[in-house]
């Protein structure tokens, strides 16, 4: 798992039930560190799981402790779907404790420039209790990790959360990478069980286990964890077969993910080009597949996205309709009702299937 995201040390990877729980774990672990007057910067393109925890912290939790934390939300270009980096930079200052941003929007598909966001955070000058300087950066990688080469060390990410069920594994396991300098002083999210050092519980003092066990309270999802680890190798082997066995696991993973990214870009660009040429169809997000992950969200004039999804289902096409838990972005674009239909090609899909999808959507749009 650690090698799959470029982490040099497996001890920097914690396991939770999914991206949502991982992000909540960061929020609760940092909660006691926030000072009155601090702020959090996020964006209008976030999944609810990377917005609501921070909303709750600022509006519902810390006020009960007499602390005022501001939540600032950066916008995006309504035409291109690209993050407004200048707006984000304006909102970050010396009181910004953490920047929380999607790695790839599950609605628009947009991939914000993570390295530039990290650079903005590093320059903020925020002083953390552990002595580190600069705003932390948390990346929601749920739609990034399954489709894109990720190297947390090179990117400089402080927190990366992702889910294994979005990359061929069963539901119920998610990963959270935490930079070692942060992890060493981070408060646990949950208490009890294996996170306690063996025999180190007395009425006067409790000592916690070493990393990463300090963050593994309760009984883990053992079978799910094993399968999640296996799937990281399965994906690489599916793509590369017996090739490149002579190089390191990290290098081999990178080659496999580059191949997946390139393949999915071809499918995605075809869908974008064809769907935007159909009268009445509006496609959201970047129109250049190299600037997004493999999700294409769209609406058909005069038709509710739920009805579109139902018609696609009738001809054997799996899509998703609704707000995709990206409610902020739908409202930001003025979509009423706040919903769209989404097609998400993956490594097992073919170009012929994409042609079938285009023909089906064309028929629905012309009805």
Tens-place pLDDT, residues 314-339: 999 999 999 999 999 999 999 999 99
Q: Decide: 158 and 136 in contact? Cβ < 8 Å.
A: yes
Query: Residue 367's pLDDT is what?
Result: 85
CA–CA gap between residue 34 and residue 126 (Å, rounded): 11
Active-site residues: which are they? 325
The sign of the torsion formed by the CA atoms of 4, 5, 6, 7 equals: negative
Q: Which of 324, 250, 341 is nearest to 102 (CA)?
A: 324
What's phi and psi for 74, nearest 5 deg? -80, 150
Query: Residue 245's pLDDT is what?
Result: 86
CATH number of 249-366: 3.90.1150.10
Task: Find the DSSP H helices in 204-333.
Answer: 222-240, 249-275, 305-314, 327-332
| Parts of the chain with a pLDDT under 70 | none
Query: Residue 290's pLDDT is what?
Result: 97
- Which letter does DSSP use for residue 239 in this model? H
Query: Residue 31's pLDDT is what?
Result: 96
Query: Residue 249's pLDDT is what?
Result: 87
> What class is the 3-227 domain?
alpha beta
CB-CB neighbours of 350 under 10 Å: 10
For the chain, what's the residue count? Answer: 367
Q: Decide: 43 and 51 in contact? Cβ < 8 Å.
A: no
Place of tokens 């038709």: 303
Q: In the chain, how long is the greatest CA-to-CA distance?
A: 73
Q: Are strands 96-102 and 159-163 parallel, antiparallel or unpaired?
A: unpaired
The pair of three-digit structure tokens given for residue 228, joined into one six-digit string: 């999640």
**Same fold yes or no, 3-227 and 249-366:** no
C-alpha dist (Å) from residue 346 to 128, 152, 294: 40, 23, 7
Task: Find the DSSP H helices in 31-187.
Answer: 52-56, 85-91, 114-122, 152-155, 180-183
CB-CB neighbours of 67 under 10 Å: 16
The pair of three-digit structure tokens given for residue 344, joined into one six-digit string: 């998400």
The pair of three-digit structure tokens given for residue 45, joined into one six-digit string: 């393109």
Q: Beta-strand (E) ranges in the chain?
A: 13-16, 39-43, 70-74, 96-102, 136-140, 159-163, 174-178, 196-201, 206-208, 281-284, 296-300, 320-322, 340-343
CB-CB neighbours of 80 under 10 Å: 14
Query: Residue 98's pLDDT is what?
Result: 98
Extents of the domains making up the chain:
3-227, 249-366
Q: b/e string for 131-157 if b means 16 or more Cβ within 10 A?
A: eeebbbbbbbbbbbbbbbbbbbeebbb
CA–CA gap between residue 135 and residue 98 (Å, rounded): 5
pLDDT tens sequence across 156-211: 999 999 999 999 999 999 999 999 999 999 999 999 988 999 999 999 999 999 99
Query: Residue 221's pLDDT is what?
Result: 93
Query: Residue 235's pLDDT is what?
Result: 95
């Amino acid at each position: 798992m650690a090698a799959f995201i470029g982490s040099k040390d497996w001890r920097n990877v914690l396991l939770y039930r999914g991206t949502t729980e991982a992000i909540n774990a960061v929020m609760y672990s940092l909660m006691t560190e926030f000072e009155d007057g601090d702020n959090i910067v996020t964006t209008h393109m976030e999944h609810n799981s990377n917005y609501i925890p921070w909303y709750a912290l600022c509006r519902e939790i810390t006020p009960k402790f007499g602390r005022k934390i501001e939540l600032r939300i950066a916008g995006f270009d309504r035409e291109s779907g690209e993050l407004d980096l200048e707006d984000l930079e304006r909102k970050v200052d010396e009181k910004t404790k953490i920047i929380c941003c999607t790695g790839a929007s599950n609605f628009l598909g947009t991939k914000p420039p993570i390295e530039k966001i990290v650079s903005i955070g590093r320059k903020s000058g925020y002083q953390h209790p552990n002595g580190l300087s600069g705003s932390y950066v948390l990346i929601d990688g749920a739609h990034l990790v399954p489709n894109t080469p990720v190297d947390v060390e090179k990117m400089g990410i402080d927190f990366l959360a992702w889910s294994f069920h979005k990359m061929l594994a069963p539901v119920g396991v998610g990963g959270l990478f935490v930079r070692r300098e942060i992890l060493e002083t981070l408060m646990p999210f949950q208490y009890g069980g294996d996170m306690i050092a063996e025999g180190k519980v007395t009425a006067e003092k409790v000592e916690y286990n070493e990393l990463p066990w300090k963050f593994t309270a309760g009984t883990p999802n053992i079978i799910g964890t094993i399968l999640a680890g296996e799937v990281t190798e399965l994906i690489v082997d599916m793509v590369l077969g017996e090739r490149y066995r002579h190089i390191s696991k990290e290098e081999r993973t990178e080659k496999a993910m580059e191949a997946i990214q390139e393949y999915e870009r071809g499918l995605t660009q075809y869908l974008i080009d064809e769907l935007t040429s159909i009268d009445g169809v509006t496609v959201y997000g970047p129109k250049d597949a190299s600037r997004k992950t493999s999700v294409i969200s769209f609406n058909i004039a005069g038709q509710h996205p739920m009805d579109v999804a139902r018609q696609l289902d009738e001809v054997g096409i799996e899509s998703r309709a609704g707000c995709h838990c990206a409610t902020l972005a739908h409202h930001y674009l003025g979509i009423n009702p706040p919903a769209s239909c989404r097609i998400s090609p993956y490594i097992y899909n073919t170009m012929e299937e994409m042609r079938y999808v285009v023909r089906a959507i064309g028929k629905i749009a012309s009805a």
